């Protein structure tokens, strides 16, 4: 039986980009997804197995059907605000569901795990840029679930030998430069696609949540990393584990921050469209500044972003936006 990489949540935004890149580079893939937030039409590569992390029998059936060499896990819920209003949903899926996945791996002798973690584990940073040794202090249930799973993975590695790499993303953005996949969320909460919707006339405005943060222009500052670069980091992490690398954690970002206002202005320039802005109150769980120190990923994994520019990121997202809407926006 041919070996495959299992991509849990591979019908979603980042998972579908990883599936495409791995397939292009010669890996066999299996996507495990319940399609609650993912999209079957984005599973254009490899094989598809419908299942839910809460269903241990489906997990066992998947691991029994395919020979799995390694698992990449993108199957978490990821809305910070929703995690605050409904934490039970997040602890059930993100923590208990991941335990089911890890137990299936242990049962079937699969020993390599790449975890889609988040800069949300750090909370409000004491200093920026943020290195991997920055203390954990998550300020939302979503961030706490990522923190908990990282702790669980360390224990599972020590006890059961499941080697793990935690990839702590900053702000994933953009779309596949080749147009094969992109960002589809319902509801959409990410700044760049919301700005592009406003530019295309699909929404009346873009809201800025808070204008009195201690930043250059009063709006939140984030480190945007192209989703294709994130996908490449997962392949680098896979090669690292296959060569026998020890369990470790890596930040993934460009090392440069852009404010909400700067992103909206860049979207205006890229699209050549007007974007109406409406000011709104701050949201809970939004740190003022999040910027990555990704030197460790560059040094250990040999990872280097190929699409670091904000205009490149927004441009790729705009091309996907046009294609998705079926018309020139």
SS3 206: strand
* Segments of the chain assigned to CATH 3.90.25.10: 191-222+255-325
Please identify which residue in the block is written with the tokens 């779309």. Answer: 175
pLDDT tens per residue, range 26-83: 999 999 999 999 999 999 999 999 999 999 999 999 999 999 999 999 999 999 989 9
Distance CA 135, CA 126 (A): 9
* Segments of the chain assigned to CATH 3.40.50.720: 3-173+225-252
Peptide bond into 150 cis (omega under 30): no
SS3 82: helix
**pTM of the full structure:** 0.95
Q: Which CATH fold topology does 3-173+225-252 show?
A: Rossmann fold (3.40.50)
pLDDT of residue 284: 81
Q: At what angle do helices 260-271 and 191-199 cross, to 10 degrees?
A: 40
pLDDT tens per residue, range 238-289: 999 999 999 999 999 999 999 999 999 999 999 999 999 999 999 887 889 9
* C-beta separation of 229 from 264 below 8 A: no
Q: How far is CA 201 from the centre of its chain?
A: 27
Catalytic site positions: 142
Right CATH for 191-222+255-325 from 3.40.50.720, 3.90.25.10, 3.10.180.10, 2.30.30.30:
3.90.25.10
């Amino acid at each position: 039986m041919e070996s495959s990489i299992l991509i849990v949540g591979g019908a979603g935004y980042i998972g579908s980009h990883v599936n495409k890149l791995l397939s292009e580079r010669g890996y066999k893939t299996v996507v495990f997804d319940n399609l609650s937030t993912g999209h079957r039409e984005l599973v254009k590569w490899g094989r598809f197995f419908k299942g839910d992390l809460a269903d241990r029998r489906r997990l066992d059936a998947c691991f029994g059907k395919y020979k799995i060499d390694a698992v990449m896990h993108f199957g978490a819920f990821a809305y910070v605000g929703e995690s605050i209003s409904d934490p039970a949903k997040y602890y059930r899926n993100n923590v208990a569901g991941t335990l089911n996945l890890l137990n299936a791996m242990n049962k079937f002798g699969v020993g390599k795990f790449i975890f889609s973690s988040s800069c949300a584990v750090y909370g409000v940073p004491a200093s920026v840029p943020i290195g991997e040794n920055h203390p954990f202090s998550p300020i939302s249930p979503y961030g706490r679930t990522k923190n908990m799973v990282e702790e669980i993975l360390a224990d599972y590695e020590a006890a059961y030998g499941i080697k793990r790499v935690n990839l702590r993303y900053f702000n994933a953005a953009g779309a596949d430069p080749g147009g094969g996949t992109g960002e589809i969320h319902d509801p959409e909460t990410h700044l760049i696609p919301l700005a592009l919707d406003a530019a295309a006339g699909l929404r009346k405005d873009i809201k800025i949540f808070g204008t009195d943060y201690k930043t250059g222009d009063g709006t939140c500052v984030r480190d945007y990393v192209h989703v294709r670069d994130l996908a490449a980091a997962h392949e680098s992490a896979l090669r690292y584990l296959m060569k026998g690398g020890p369990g470790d954690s890596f930040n993934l970002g460009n090392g440069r921050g852009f404010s909400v206002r700067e992103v909206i202005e860049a979207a205006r320039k890229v699209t050549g469209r007007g974007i109406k802005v409406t000011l709104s109150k701050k949201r809970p769980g939004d740190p003022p500044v999040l910027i990555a120190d990704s030197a460790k990923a560059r040094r250990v994994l040999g990872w280097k972003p190929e699409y670091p520019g904000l205009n490149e990121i927004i441009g790729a997202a705009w091309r996907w936006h046009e294609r998705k809407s079926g018309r020139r926006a």
